Structure 1
Amino acid sequence: MIIDNDFSGDPDDLYQLVHHLLSPTVAIRAVIASHLREGDPFDAGPRTADNAVLVVEDVFARLGLDSTEVIFGGANDSLADRTTPQDSPAATAIIDEALRDDESPLFYVAGGGLTDLASAYLLEPRIADRMTVIWIGGPEHRGLASPPPGAMPIEYNLLIDVTAAQVVFNDAAFTIWQVPRDVYRQCLVSNAELRLRVATAGELGRYLYDEVAQVIEREAAAGPGAAGTYILGDSPLVLLTALVSPFEPDTSSSRHVGRPTPSIGDDGGYLDVPGARPMRVYTWVDTRLMFEDFYLKLHEFSSWQAAADTPGPSLRSTHTTSDEWKR
């Protein structure tokens, strides 16, 4: 798989990245550090993709991973139009992996904007037939859900680069599995969960907890008060790839509907395209499996890391080797 996220933004992407890195059932060929929209409250820029690279490198270091050659910086700017790519190391890496001689299915999992995927397609259209794109983003679909109160006019991840989404949805032939806003908003965890299930999982868990706690404190100070929860909305990228069913493999614990792939208008809305290629739209995700797996893997890693730092027999008694974690 190829992971693509705006790692200098909302820290839910850090949870997704760590969870994927701790999941031995997927082979991560590239991690794309992509940009945010200009003036984003998490990182106002201007070089948010460059900043995202530094975040990913830091996460790798916290996990003890030295395989930083899989980290690629994306473009710092959105597409100017639907025919001109933003070339970058990320776009080149996407093309190289998509065209590599390997019969294994390739999943492109994206938790932010789609600039680098769209750019790679504009540079090499053949990649559209070589992967399945799983995207966290886009508004609710008519007949399936309604927007939340006070919703942004254009959904957050789509707003990062509407033009890129138009390339992926309207112009290319990618197979798309979409987790729209109403579904990623289902991925709520309580502050108590984060304190007791994440912050207690060693130095890595404390780091992840602190990243979210800072956002919660800032939002509580600026708004009506603390909500008592946080949305880890990028985590379905792990659920739909690393946690599929063992027999007749599929995302069987979650629910989706099939629909013709719509076009995306300049206003971020969907435009029906009768007879278009089919796509999956997820309507419900298995948060129990997703979050329990994350909490347990995080604590398992913390225990292994603590044992690895302790000289003597305790290290030899562990059942997981450092090479296994570095997968």
Structure 2
Amino acid sequence: MNLAFDVPEWRKIRVIINTDAKNEADDQFAIVHALLTPRFRIKGIIGAQFETTGKMMNREHTMQQSCDEVHKILSLMDLEGQVPVYSGAANPLSDELTPEPSAGAEAIVREAMADDDAPLYVVFMGPLTDMATAYLMEPKIAGRVTVIWIGGEDYPNGGWEYNLFNDIHAANVIFDSPIELWQVPRGVYTTMRVSLAELIHKVQPYGRIGNYLVEQLIEFNNSIKYPTWPKGEMWSLGDSPCISLLLDEHEYGYTYKPAPRITQDMYYVHDQKERMIRVYHFVDPRFTLEDMFSKLALHYSNHNN
């Protein structure tokens, strides 16, 4: 990477990315951001399903679509073959006791149980299906991994939220487990607002991947015709906080809360006080987005599209 700096090995962390990369248009930005971040030792990228919302859009085989999108991103960055890509579960969990085995879940277990002193973080930009499966397959991974999840509605009430909707059972498995969990609810991840003009100015000029990031977002933006979303000239890069929190934990931006039980209509039931999770109420949009913009510019300023 052409960033003019590196990170000492003892400061580096292991990262696995779990992404429903083709569900809309923001996962791609977070994936690229992660791949350009020298602190991260990327141990794999897992393609995630989004079958429940996919049916609403007349789409199927969504996990494979996510994997295909990951491969496209790696190809555009000339990284194909350098980062392992794993298939996640093809469907959400059927209940809270039965795993949905996948190569991705096996990779999480394998990396968590590896003899490596570097901390392991698994970031989820979609449902928690593969993390719940990994835990159900091997509960010993608790205490050996930290999970960052972009998902869930705001506290205290909860309610409908896209990533949660794609696997409520999996969320309950992880919320009820002893795994260290950092949750970034909708009211926080939607603060990563950018305008299309800003993206054309700060992202599109930088490499084939910069051009693709902007083109695919504009194409998706123009294809959606709901009355109130999208708004025409802006987007929220809602998956990007999971990258910036691994650069700086934002110790001023979270509180520990008792993990709620989540109902099937996605409301929070506060019925216990022992199991605590970290819930973010603030992630710095300036820090998050400008780090991504700067890394793209530094790496690709001398590249041709």
Normalised by the size of structure 1, how large is the TM-score? 0.83
Q: Counterpart of 2:123 in 1: which secondary structure?
A: strand
Partners of 1:125 and 1:180 lie apart in 2 by: 25
2:227 aligned with 1:223, yes or no? yes
Residue of structure 2 in register with 1:127 after alignment = 141
Which of 81, 87, 92 matches 2:95? 81
Partners of 1:157 and 1:65 lie apart in 2 by: 28
Partners of 1:93 and 1:35 lie apart in 2 by: 16
- CA 1:39–1:187: 2 relative to 1, 3 Å: closer
Q: Give runs of ≥4 in structure 1 deviating > 4 Å.
A: none
Partners of 1:31 and 1:39 lie apart in 2 by: 21
2:286 aligned with 1:288, yes or no? yes
Residue of structure 2 in register with 1:323 after alignment = none
Residue of structure 1 in register with 2:250 after alignment = 251
Q: CA deviation at 1:258?
A: 1.6
Would the aligned equivalents of 2:53 and 2:166 in 1 still touch at CA under 8 Å? no
Residue of structure 2 in register with 1:34 after alignment = 48
Partners of 1:38 and 1:164 lie apart in 2 by: 13
Structure 2 gap ranges (5+): 1-14
Would the aligned equivalents of 2:250 and 2:283 in 1 still touch at CA under 8 Å? no
Residue of structure 2 in register with 1:169 after alignment = 175
Partners of 1:42 and 1:200 lie apart in 2 by: 34
Q: Tell me which structure has the larger Cα radius of gyration.
A: 1
User: 2:164 corresponds to which letter in structure 1?
Assistant: L
Q: CA deviation at 1:274?
A: 3.3
Residue of structure 2 in register with 1:214 after alignment = 219
Deviation readout 1:53-72 (Å, 9 max, x if unpaired) = 11111111111113355110
RMSD between aligned residues: 2.0
Partners of 1:196 and 1:42 lie apart in 2 by: 33
Q: CA deviation at 1:130?
A: 1.0
Partners of 1:3 and 1:17 lie apart in 2 by: 8
Which of 271, 276, 279 matches 2:277? 279
2:191 aligned with 1:190, yes or no? no
Would the aligned equivalents of 2:51 and 2:61 in 1 still touch at CA under 8 Å? no
Partners of 2:94 and 2:48 lie apart in 1 by: 16
Residue of structure 2 in register with 1:157 after alignment = 163
Residue of structure 2 in register with 1:300 after alignment = 298
Would the aligned equivalents of 1:262 and 1:276 in 2 still touch at CA under 8 Å? no
Superposition map of 1:305-320 within 5 A: 305-306=303-304
Which of 109, 118, 130 matches 2:123? 109
**Higher relative helix content:** 1
Would the aligned equivalents of 2:192 and 2:238 in 1 still touch at CA under 8 Å? yes
Normalised by the size of structure 2, how large is the TM-score? 0.89
Aligned-pair identity (%) = 35
Equivalenced residue count is 290
Partners of 2:182 and 2:227 lie apart in 1 by: 34
Which of 164, 174, 179 matches 2:184? 179
Structure 1 gap ranges (5+): 148-152, 245-249, 310-327
- CA 1:156–1:55: 2 relative to 1, 3 Å: same
Which of 1, 24, 36 matches 1:10? 24
With 107-116 and 32-41 compared, the bigger mean Cα shift is at 32-41
